[in-house]
Amino acid sequence: MVAMSGGVDSSVTAALLTQAGYQVIGVTMEIWPKDLIDQTPGSRCCGLTAVEDARKVASKLGISHYVVNLREVFARRVIANFCQEYARGRTPNPCVRCNRYVKFDALLAYARALEADYLATGHYARIARDEVTGRWLLKKGVDSRKDQSYFLYTLTQEQLRHILFPLGELTKERVRKIARELDLPVAAKAESQEVCFIPQNDYHRFLRRNMPGSLREGPIIDQQGRVLGRHRGIAFYTVGQRRGLGVATGKPLYVLALDEKRNAVVVGPESALYRPALVAGDPNWIAIETLDHPREVQARIRYRHREAPATVVPYAGDQVLVRFAAPQRAITPGQAVVFYDGDTVVGGGTILYALDEGKKGKNEDNGE
């Protein structure tokens, strides 16, 4: 089964597997609530045009195509979480959750129920087997500009053995060329860089519409607690933000933290954005069974962030402490931190808070 979004990547995935001799069926997920479809009728991803484009490609390839309704799980696991996290002053990563709960949980279960051996997607990542440990490994795609392994760190061993990533060894340019050579209807289709369920990529409008009761005005304060201005709701801000603060002090100020308890936006100089450590929760391990001792890794705190040398160690409960060799800028609660050993994903987790080493106990990122 190939998850076909109507884009170039998933279309070429279906074509390559068909050429390789697999018996292929294409499936497009229906995941949006109807009101979102009405707001974004021409969206390139997950909307009405996605279904039609996927059908055209399936017809061109001579394979069956189906639509599966996963709206409930998407609304509950992705959209609701997205709103809840922003209301808490955290910045979630909906693509990670969609992969975890929708594509490689609900959709994979659907594929297995239909007795498909594999679920294939157009992700730029690779799967390998460790000959020594026998574990399935997740590796970066060879195209460093398109590598999507960061979004896939939640994959389990059972899931990995039933997943195919045919594009992992290819560059985006090569994928486009294949689409043109095969005369696929979507060969020239532009790719979306936006969160699929945010109409026109207007976060503020989406949050006002979907969580109005959680948007409360409050104080903008400095690190000493002095009130500098008012904010429109902590959901409209993110760590590292400079523009749109509406505070004039004569020097640049950045968002250092979002304090849910005080409903406050904490601001300060850029230098205060750099923190030497973080604590992450809900970890998932791929290359290893569990983390039982400190491990040297390369850690990435955002998708487009450069990996940084770090040591990850077991922490309180089911958490991990990540100490960086050099302080990192704008560590953001809610984002994923993913650990690499070369091109292999060791594991990852969700950032809970930044930490100043040397302070005892839990020190949440309150800007102090």
Question: Model confidence over 7-45: pLDDT tens digits?
Answer: 999 999 999 999 999 999 999 999 977 665 545 544 455
Question: Which residues, at least 6 apart from 322, have a Cβ–Cβ distance to it below 8 Å?
Answer: 277, 278, 279, 280, 299, 310, 311, 312, 337
User: Any idea what DSSP says for residue 366?
Assistant: S
The architecture of the domain spanning 216-268 is: Roll (2.30)
**Where does the pLDDT of residue 198 fall: very low under 50, low under 70, confident under 90, or very high at 90 and above?**
confident
Catalytic residue, from 45, 46, 95, 98: name it.
Answer: 98
**Distances, alpha carbon 41 to alpha carbons 44, 49, 54, 114, 200, in Å:** 9, 8, 16, 31, 11
Supply angle C-alpha 206, 209, 211, rounded to 5.
95
196 in active site: yes
Bigger pLDDT: 356 vs 122: 122
pLDDT, tens only, 122-160: 999 999 999 999 999 999 999 999 999 999 999 999 999
- pLDDT, position 275: 97
Domain 274-355: homologous superfamily in CATH: Translation factors (2.40.30.10)
Q: Is 367 left (phi over 0), alpha (psi -120 to 50) or beta?
A: left
3-state secondary structure of 131: coil
Say whether 216-268 and 2-201 share the same fold: no
331 token code pair: 């560590």
Question: Which residues, at least 6 apart from 78, have a Cβ–Cβ distance to it below 8 Å?
Answer: 31, 94, 97, 98, 101, 102, 197
pLDDT, tens only, 255-284: 999 999 999 999 999 999 999 999 999 999
**Where does the pLDDT of residue 363 fall: very low under 50, low under 70, confident under 90, or very high at 90 and above?**
very low
Domain ranges of the chain: 2-201, 216-268, 274-355
User: Per 3-state DSSP, what percentage of the chain is helix, strand, and coil (rounded to 5)?
Assistant: 30, 25, 40
Average pLDDT over residues 82-90: 92
83 in active site: no
Longest dimension (CA), the chain: 67
Average pLDDT over residues 273-301: 97
Q: Residue 237: is it exposed, middle or buried by C-beta count within 10 angstroms (0-12/13-18/19+)?
A: buried
- pLDDT, position 365: 47
Using CA atoms, how far apart are residues 203 and 236, in angstroms rounded to an integer?
Answer: 8
- pLDDT, position 47: 63
Using CA atoms, how far apart are residues 89 and 83, in angstroms rounded to an integer?
Answer: 10
- pLDDT, position 40: 52
**pLDDT over threshold 90, residue 345:** yes
Does the domain formed by 2-201 have CATH 1.20.1440.230? Answer: no
Which residue, among 131, 135, 144, has the nearest Cα to 343 in the 3D structure?
Answer: 144
3-state secondary structure of 209: helix
Buried b (16+ CB within 10 A) or exposed e, 319-347: bbbbbbeebbbbbbbbbbbbbbeebbbbb
In this prediction the pTM is: 0.92
User: What are the DSSP E strand ranges found in 227-273?
Assistant: 227-231, 254-259, 264-268
**Mean pLDDT lowest among 39-48, 184-193, 198-207, 328-337:** 39-48
- pLDDT, position 127: 98
Average pLDDT over residues 99-124: 97
Q: How many CB atoms lie within 10 A of CB 276?
A: 18
Of the chain, the percentage scoring pLDDT greater than 90 comes to 80
Catalytic residue, from 45, 46, 95, 196: name it.
Answer: 196
pLDDT, tens only, 170-192: 999 999 999 999 999 999 898 87
